[in-house]
Amino acid sequence: MGLLPVVIVGASLGGLRSAEALRRSGYAGPITVFGDEPHAPYNRPPLSKDVLGGGDVTHASVAFPQRAATADVDWRLGTRIASADLERRLVRTADGTEVPYRALIVATGLRPKRLSARTEGLAGTFALRTLDDAGALSDALTPGTQVVIAGSGFVGCEVAATARQLGCEVTVVGSGKLPMLGPLGPALAEELMRRHEAHGVRFRLGTHVAEALGQDAVEGVRLADGSEVACQVLVEAIGSLHNTEWLHGNDVDVDQGLRTDSAMRVLRADGRPWVDVFAVGDVARFPNAIYGDVPASIEHWNIPTETAKRASRILAMQLAEDPDVDAAIAERFAPVPSFWSDQYDIHLLAYGLPALADRMELLAGRTDGECVYGYFVGARMVGVCGIGMRSEVMKFREEVSRYGHVAIGEPA
Amino acid sequence: MLKVDVDRTQCQNFGQCVLEAPNVFVLNAKDEMEYTPVVDDSELENVEAAIDVCPMQAISLVSGR
Ligand SMILES: Cc1cc2nc3c(=O)[nH]c(=O)nc-3n(C[C@H](O)[C@H](O)[C@H](O)COP(=O)(O)OP(=O)(O)OC[C@H]3O[C@@H](n4cnc5c(N)ncnc54)[C@H](O)[C@@H]3O)c2cc1C
Ligand code: SF4
């Protein structure tokens, strides 16, 4: 019998970067990656932006390049892992096959929350996470179509911009006072909303979609305030759920993401790590030294890469019985969250976690043109976000990424 | 030597590459990314890191590995 593989569950950004980083860290043994989607790893951000708008929703247009170092990875695509037994060190595919592992990396990410099982079954309703979702939605966004977007976060607003540019009639329904209020703060959120309205997008804020109307296909929505909006397309962008159900029955903490230590090792309920089980990417809730080591999951694109590098390096050292592994585990882990968003000709770029702030301040430029805002808790700058002005935004990256800067959940 | 290529139809001048490989990529005064297409092998690790973090996945190594 050959060596047992390192098994990675989830064949997206986090899974791919884990496999690459294992090789780069010197691990030469077998790697098996399970992914329930039929596609090799691809990039999700364009699915709400240029790819959705450009009509070229193909795997080739978003596929991550495959590197020579990972050519011998065993990709089991279209194969869902149904359960795991961490004590016995194995995972089970949906057809019951048991796959024993030497170490396990969990990279199963998120899936969209849905309004209800009934809306999910109606023709004309969409969620957006996968390439197949984007393909289906793209076909439905024809000129003149009335589109309601439930949810006014980033994905909702990006889809609104794209749909508007395709000639659809767009209404965004959001429960907040302003769209994207958390990550942008009031001044920028208000400006973004103004620009969307100038492009003809309508907003219904401070309410939510209570119900979808229609028998077989969606014909409209009823909002919580009783009013109705007609539509032929309903996009549900109301947030996400962590894909952790398959770990059910194991001694892990899956509340708001799979909890890990700062080495990305999955923790038992009593806080001790499983030494051979790691989690990376959107699914992981990990302590970040910038934010007082309070465990949180950060759903930004740069985090799967950073957490995968961290987990894979430690795992590779462990498997090689490298005596320095304890020192590597003890090293501080402080990845700087970064996000961007494209809507019309607006290019947003941010570092840190503006959502933690109680105050924002214009640092450069003009709000109605290009600008940079700083986000503060007291005197400490916890985030920076700009419309355009990229090199200005980058100047503040270091400032917002100091250790122990502010604790997530700390009262302001 | 390594040969680096950036797909200009994809690149949106995010400058994330600049943080990872400052000897290869720079943002000029107009916020446009400029890069050195042929660089020393010692930059391999940095260029690999830049490829990883580019949001548009616009960077590729044409030769060198
Ligand atoms: C439309 C859209 C736009 C975005 N835009 C931006 C942006 O502009 N900026 C930004 O910073 N971030 C953006 N993001 C977020 C970014 O794409 C995510 O942070 C990133 O994809 C997370 O990668 P991941 O590998 O951790 O998880 P995922 O990409 O969610 O991958 C998890 C994979 O695991 C698979 N899986 C789940 N359960 C199982 C199982 N039991 N067995 C086998 N496989 C399983 C899933 O099908 C999926 O393929 C966007 C996301 C979306 C959906
Ligand atoms: S990170 Fe990518 S998109 Fe950004 S400047 Fe570099 S090459 Fe261009």
Cα dihedral sign, A296-A298-A304-A310? negative
How far is Cα A4 from Cα A90, in angstroms, rounded to an integer?
Answer: 10
Ligand 2 midpoint to CA A336 (Å): 18
Give A339-363 pLDDT, tens digit per residue. Answer: 999 999 999 999 999 988 999 999 9
Rounded to an integer, the average pLDDT of A245-266 is: 97
User: Under CATH, which number does the domain B2-61 receive?
Assistant: 3.30.70.20
Angle at A211 between CA A209 and CA A215, to 5 degrees: 140
Ligand 1 midpoint to CA A176 (Å): 24
- The region of weakest confidence among A280-289, A337-346, B9-18 is B9-18
Residue B63 has pLDDT above 90, yes or no: no
Q: Classify domain A6-111+241-330 at the CATH superfamily level.
A: FAD/NAD(P)-binding domain (3.50.50.60)
Q: Which CATH class is domain A114-238?
A: alpha beta
Rounded to an integer, the average pLDDT of B28-57 is: 91
pLDDT category of residue A2 using cuts at 50, 70 and 90:
low
Kindly report the average pLDDT of chain A as a whole number.
94
How far is Cα A45 from Cα A62, in angstroms, rounded to an integer?
Answer: 9
How far is Cα A136 from Cα A115, in angstroms, rounded to an integer?
Answer: 18
pLDDT category of residue B12 using cuts at 50, 70 and 90:
confident
Enumerate the domain spans of chain A.
Answer: 6-111+241-330, 114-238, 345-401
Give A199-230 pLDDT, tens digit per residue. Answer: 999 999 999 999 999 999 999 999 999 999 99
Give A57-110 pLDDT, tens digit per residue. Answer: 999 999 998 888 889 999 999 999 999 999 999 999 999 999 999 999 999 999
Structure tokens at A157: 């607003």
Pocket of ligand 1 (CB under 6 A): A 9-15, 34-37, 44-45, 47-48, 80-81, 107-110, 128-129, 155, 243, 246, 281-283, 299-301, 304, 339-341
Q: How many Å from the N-terminal Cα to the C-terminal Cα in chain A?
A: 58
How far is Cα A335 from Cα A328, in angstroms, rounded to an integer?
Answer: 15
Give the global pTM: 0.95
Residue A125 has pLDDT above 80, yes or no: yes
Give A235-248 pLDDT, tens digit per residue. Answer: 999 999 999 999 99
Q: What is the pLDDT of residue B64?
A: 59
Tell how far CA A103 is from the center of its chain: 24
Give domain A345-401's CATH architecture. 2-Layer Sandwich (3.30)
How far is Cα A100 from Cα A92, in angstroms, rounded to an integer?
Answer: 9
Whether A114-238 and A6-111+241-330 are alike in CATH topology: the answer is yes
User: In chain A, pLDDT over 90 holds for what percent of residues?
Assistant: 87
Task: State the DSSP code for A239.
Answer: -
Q: What is the pLDDT of residue A412?
A: 40
Q: What is the pLDDT of residue A411?
A: 45
Enumerate the domain spans of chain B.
Answer: 2-61
How far is Cα A402 from Cα A381, in angstroms, rounded to an integer?
Answer: 9
Contact between A348 and A195 (Cβ < 8 Å) = no
- Say if B13 is an interface residue toward chain A (CB within 8 Å): yes
Rounded to an integer, the average pLDDT of A144-167 is: 97
For residue A388, the chain B residues in CB contact (below 8 A) are 31
Buried-exposed string B34-62: b where 16+ CB fall within 10 A, e elsewhere: ebeeebeeebeebbbbbbbbbbbbbbebe
Contact between A15 and A8 (Cβ < 8 Å) = yes
**Ligand 1 closest atom vs CA A41:** 49
How far is Cα A374 from Cα A91, in angstroms, rounded to an integer?
Answer: 45
